Structure 1
Amino acid sequence: MLNIFSLANGRLFQEEIESLEELSKFQPIWVDLESPSPEEKRWIKQHYGLSIPEDAMDEDIEESARFYEEDNGDLHIRSDFLVADEESPHTVRVAFILNQHNASMKSRGVLFSIHDEDVPVLRLIRMRARRAPGLIEDAKDVLLKLLDADAEYSADTLEDIYVDLEKVSGRVLAGNVTDELASEVLSSIARHEDLNGRIRRNMMDTRRALSFMMRSKMLNAEQFEEARQILRDIDSLDSHTAFLFDKINFLMDATVGFININQNKIIKIFSVASVALLPPTLIASIYGMNFKYMPELDWTLGYPYVLVLMIASAVVPMLYFRKRGWLK
């Protein structure tokens, strides 16, 4: 899918392109390619003279090759964007190419973004740019706003994790944690830990992209200050992710502690039962080994006497255990 965004009266206007002829009618500042087909890549090369690298969206590309500047001045940035899906949170690799020397847009340049699936941050910027005039002035503003929105999206996701962990904490600290509840809690904690880790990694990646833009001297004074503000926002998120890691570890330890308590209760039952049954077992052993012939032939009341003695020897320890509170 090929979408272009043109700037008019301070607002972005989106057009979906289905042919090379349509592409030549517009002068965009942002060209977005979602799972581009070979034909769409050919249109970009014919109209803009830009060849999209085959490894643009590869996940195994070396970290040192994710940010670089070509000899013609084009900037290449590969950054990960968070997708906080409830079932399977993940990050999407987006390749950016900032063409600052396009013949049709010399003053503003063109930003090309290539990705395999839709990204919430890109949708958010498209919506904001249509509603808020003056938000974007050139292609570099688009890239800055995307990175800024990525930081905001991560912050919103952290707030959702806070809310969910508060609910989990209330269930755990209320006591009476059954094995079924512990299983649900551990599953929820594991998902939040994974998402929190992805947010931290995503923020690190966004910080690197902003640092590269600032070092490349491509930003004007206003954009440079905006990039510094985004970096400060990202730094403030680090303490939140660290706090969430500590809270997750606490809830994990508390839940595992309740699981151990439940297991100890089961072991305690077997321990009490084995201790209580030791005297009857001893009496039965002594009684059975001290007769030359069958006990019924030598002593008629032997069985009733031993049975009463065995029951009494079992009841007395149980009463003692109950008095000490070991049967609760």
Structure 2
Amino acid sequence: MLNAFVLSAGRLIQVPALVPEDLSRPEVLWVDMVDPTDDERELVQKVFKLELPEDEEVKDLEESARCYVDENGVHMSSFFLSHSEDEYANVTVSFLLNQGRLLTIRQDELAVFRLFRLRARVQPGFVATAQEILLAIYDAAVEYDADVLEEIYTQLDGVSRRVLDRSAEMTDEIMGQALAELAGHEDINGKVRLDLMDTRRALSFLLRSRVLATAQEGDLREVLRDLESLNNHSAFLFDKINFLMDAVMGLINLAQNKIIKIFSIASVVFLPPTLVASIYGMNFAHMPELAESWGYPAALVLMVLSGISPYWFFKRKGWL
């Protein structure tokens, strides 16, 4: 899908009908390509006289080659967070600042771009140049990452209350569910952290490329400060997740130790009666009590007493 946007009364408006003449209009500030077809790629390359990178080329680029400047303009490739069906993923988006226009290429529709388009459409003067569009997209991406981190913290707070609530019984099902939730939150937090680190790298390159005005550089530095605070918050969430993981694993170990303790005590309690029964199972010729009428009841009483004695001793010591 190929979309072009122009400024109208200070608002960023999409061009309704897209033909080569529309793309070549000087007032076109942004050309957005979402999973473009071969024909759409050819159209853009023909109109702007440049060569667009292929999807596989973008994915295979080394970290040091994801941002560069050539005769076509400033090239940048960054990770953006994608959310669909309760799954998060890092999606690569390519940017190209070319002769006062911004070209973007991506494979999926992203919430960040929807948020930016809404703001640019309803707020007059929100953006005025291609550089401002680029900065506004990155700013929206940082806000989206902040919202995801806030949601993670909220859900972790619920897990924390369930795990650390002493009045509630921690069943195997609850502990297993808590572990699954914590593992999911750690995975999402890791993807957000990767997105933040990649965004910081891209914005630092943009600052060094000196294609921004002084006021835009100030806005970029504000975004970088927000990134730094989000990185710290992400590190805090990692620590919190690891703490809750350790707490859940500790509770699981305690529950397992209780079970092992029961088996250990049962084996110790039944050991003396087993010893008594083993003694009277010996095939010696001279065991006088075996011939007595009270021999069998006495053996039973002795086995019962030998079993009760260790239980009473453990109870008195407070081991039960």
TM-score (norm 1): 0.90
CA-to-aligned-CA distance 1:248-302 (integer Å, 9 cap, x gap): 1111111110011001001100110011111101111111216429999733432
Q: How does 1:141-290 map to 2 (within 5 A)?
A: 141-175=132-166, 176-289=169-282
Aligned residues of 1:5 and 1:29 also touching (Cα < 8 A): yes
Measured after TM superposition, the shift of residue 226 of structure 1 is: 0.4
Residue 65 (structure 2) pairs with residue 65 (structure 1): yes
Distance in 1 between residues matched to 2:93 and 2:56, nearest whole Å: 8
Measured after TM superposition, the shift of residue 322 of structure 1 is: 3.1
Distance in 2 between residues matched to 1:203 and 1:94, nearest whole Å: 14
Deviates more, 1:132-141 or 1:293-302: 293-302
Structure 1 runs not aligned, ≥5 long: 101-108
Structure 2 counterpart of 1:298, from 291, 298, 305? 291
Using a 3 Å threshold, how does the CA distance of structure 1 residues 323 and 17 change in structure 2: closer, same or farther?
farther
Who is 2:13 aligned against?
13
Structure 2 counterpart of 1:126, from 117, 122, 143? 117
Residue 93 (structure 2) pairs with residue 94 (structure 1): yes
TM-score (norm 2): 0.92
Name the SS for the 1:259 alignment partner: helix
Aligned residues of 1:182 and 1:259 also touching (Cα < 8 A): yes
Aligned residues of 2:15 and 2:22 also touching (Cα < 8 A): no
Paired positions, count: 318
Name the SS for the 1:96 alignment partner: strand
Distance in 2 between residues matched to 1:321 and 1:85, nearest whole Å: 57
Distance in 1 between residues matched to 2:241 and 2:290, nearest whole Å: 71
Measured after TM superposition, the shift of residue 303 of structure 1 is: 2.3
Residue 293 (structure 2) pairs with residue 307 (structure 1): no
Distance in 2 between residues matched to 1:48 and 1:34, nearest whole Å: 18
Structure 2 runs not aligned, ≥5 long: none
Name the SS for the 2:45 alignment partner: helix
Aligned residues of 2:58 and 2:77 also touching (Cα < 8 A): no
Q: How does 1:41-120 map to 2 (within 5 A)?
A: 41-55=41-55, 58-72=58-72, 74-85=73-84, 87-100=86-99, 109-120=100-111
Measured after TM superposition, the shift of residue 110 of structure 1 is: 1.2
Deviates more, 1:199-208 or 1:308-317: 308-317
Using a 3 Å threshold, how does the CA distance of structure 1 residues 299 and 31 change in structure 2: closer, same or farther?
same
Name the SS for the 2:212 alignment partner: coil
Deviates more, 1:257-266 or 1:183-192: 183-192
Measured after TM superposition, the shift of residue 20 of structure 1 is: 4.0
Aligned residues of 1:2 and 1:17 also touching (Cα < 8 A): no
Identity of aligned residues (%): 50
Distance in 2 between residues matched to 1:307 and 1:9, nearest whole Å: 101
Distance in 1 between residues matched to 2:288 and 2:14, nearest whole Å: 101
Letter in 2 for 1:82: L
Name the SS for the 1:52 alignment partner: coil
RMSD: 2.2
Measured after TM superposition, the shift of residue 321 of structure 1 is: 2.6
Name the SS for the 1:289 alignment partner: coil
Distance in 1 between residues matched to 2:105 and 2:139, nearest whole Å: 18
Name the SS for the 1:69 alignment partner: strand
Distance in 1 between residues matched to 2:71 and 2:288, nearest whole Å: 107
Who is 1:36 aligned against?
36
Measured after TM superposition, the shift of residue 237 of structure 1 is: 1.2
Letter in 1 for 2:90: T
Measured after TM superposition, the shift of residue 195 of structure 1 is: 1.3
CA-to-aligned-CA distance 1:107-127 (integer Å, 9 cap, x gap): xx1111001111111111001
Measured after TM superposition, the shift of residue 170 of structure 1 is: 0.4
Measured after TM superposition, the shift of residue 66 of structure 1 is: 0.6
Letter in 1 for 2:182: I
Aligned residues of 1:83 and 1:92 also touching (Cα < 8 A): yes
Name the SS for the 2:87 alignment partner: coil
